[in-house]
Amino acid sequence: MRKKELDTNTIRSYIQTPLKIGDLIIKNRLALAPLAGTSEVIFRSICSEYGVGLTTTELVSARGICYDPKLKRNYQYLAIDPDKENAVAIQLFGHDPADFKLATEIILQHPILAQVSMLDINMGCPMKKVIKTGAGSALMKSPGLAQQIVKAVVEIADKYHKPVSVKIRSGWDQDSINAPEFAKLMEDAGAKLITIHARTRNQMYSGQADWDIIEQVVDRVSIPVYGNGDLTDVISILKMYRQTNCSGFAIGRAAQGNPWIFAEIFDPDFELTNQEWLTVIDRHVSAMIEKLGDEAIAISKMRTQLSAYLKGKKHASKARNAIMQCTTKRRLSEILCTI
């Protein structure tokens, strides 16, 4: 028991130390992994309040940005709030270096988006609609093209003094695990950070992440590596650190509906009261209504997130059903107050 306590204290001290990524200093070593549908600006700001050092937008199509240079359609996905967020990266996906180059230029010339901390390239997405174009995790089968993409982003990002990171998986499938050599090629192309989700593309999100591959990536490159896959609390972080010696820790699903996870990891005495739970959901919903300008639309868009906030609560399924019919903040408050 004493040793475990000592170790969790040691890891708590470690994750509170700053991390240098290129010229960027991140205030600590916890990150929110990119989560399509969840890691939008309001949720990320809440995670920042609870201490996370680095967050990332969901994946946004580089080509989509090229076709939308004024960002009329894409701004909602790219939005950042430099006043409320700690470090934040914008994540791009695609398969054509020319698209990445132009998209990076558009982002870094935008008055607000230019304040982004880092550009991140998605080489891990397993979804069919993404990989069929050669993007996402399909790039792990084309290291030459992946390097060209990194070089294209770095060429532009360097001019604005922004580091570039790459998010990868272990490999395409069990027979083609190539993360260590692939990560080294990304470093050679100019990437300043690797985040590795320790599953293959074929595993999607199932089974257990195999953290051995994180250790191999850490050994192979000289830039920081964030380990990712199945982190849920300080104990899992401690285990990953012992096993891999990685520089940082990216938490995905365990943060959904649970932005407090970062405070819980940093502070063993942190305890969420029911009042704070209600207040944060209320602030999240109110900010979403303000952003979208329509109460019913905001609540309907937030259903998955609201459902995640109910995880582990008594009467959650009854509340989830009621939320399906709910169109106003007032009714939502009534539902949540019954929990």
Residue type, 10: T
- Phi and psi angles of residue 198, each rounded to the nearest 5 degrees, phi first: -80, 50
Question: Min. distance of Cβ 135 from ligand FMN in angstroms?
Answer: 11
Closer Cβ to ligand FMN, 310 or 335, answer by number: 310
**C-alpha dihedral over 83, 77, 122, 188, to 10 degrees?**
-40
Closest approach, Cβ 337 to ligand FMN, in A, equals 28
Among residues 105 and 230, whose Cβ is nearest to ligand FMN? 230
Q: Considering the rule CB under 6 A, would residue 137 count as an interface residue with ligand FMN?
A: no
- In three-state secondary structure terms, 98 is helix
The torsion angle over the Cα atoms of residues 139, 145, 149 and 152, rounded to 10 degrees, is 180
By CB under 6 A, the residues from 273 to 332 that bind ligand FMN are none
User: In this complex, which beta carbon is closest to ligand FMN, that of residue 192 or of residue 295?
Assistant: 192
Does position 252 interact with ligand FMN (CB under 6 A)? The reply is yes
CA–CA gap between residue 279 and residue 290 (Å, rounded): 16
Residue with tokens 């040793």: 3
Q: Residue from 130, 177, 191, 231 that binds ligand FMN (CB under 6 A)?
A: 231
Q: Does 229 bind ligand FMN (CB under 6 A)?
A: yes
Q: Which of residues 67-96 bind ligand FMN (CB under 6 A)?
A: 91
Nearest distance from C-beta of residue 299 to ligand FMN, angstroms: 19
Q: Please state at what angle helix 274-292 crosses helix 329-337, rounded to 10 degrees.
A: 160
Catalytic, out of 47, 66, 125, 326:
125
Report the C-alpha gap between 298 and 214 in whole angstroms: 38
Q: Which of residues 155-214 bind ligand FMN (CB under 6 A)?
A: 167, 197, 205
Q: In 53-177, which residue ranges form alpha helices assigned H by DSSP?
A: 62-66, 75-78, 97-109, 128-131, 143-159
Q: Amino acid identity, residue 34?
A: P
Report helix angle 212-220 to 179-189, nearest 10.
30
125 has catalytic annotation: yes
Position of minimal CB gap to ligand FMN: 252
35 makes contact with ligand FMN (CB under 6 A): yes
d(CA 180, CA 280): 40
Q: What does each C-alpha distance from 171 to 33, 47, 167, 202, 296 come to in angstroms?
A: 18, 29, 12, 9, 42
Report in angstroms how near the CB of residue 85 gets to ligand FMN at its nearest: 17
Among 41, 52, 59, 194, binds ligand FMN (CB under 6 A): 59
34 binds ligand FMN (CB under 6 A): yes
Out of 98, 185, 235, 254, the only residue in the binding site for ligand FMN (CB under 6 A) is 254
Nearer to ligand FMN, 186 or 335 (CB): 186
Closest CA to 170 of 129, 224, 212, 115: 212
Q: Decide the pairing of beta strands 248-251 and 87-93.
A: unpaired
> Quick one: which of 8, 16, 20, 36 contacts ligand FMN (CB under 6 A)?
36
CB of 304 to ligand FMN, least distance (A): 8
The residues that touch ligand FMN, with contacts defined as CB under 6 A, are: 33-37, 58-59, 91, 122, 124-125, 167, 197, 205, 228-231, 251-254
Please give the positions annotated as active site.
125
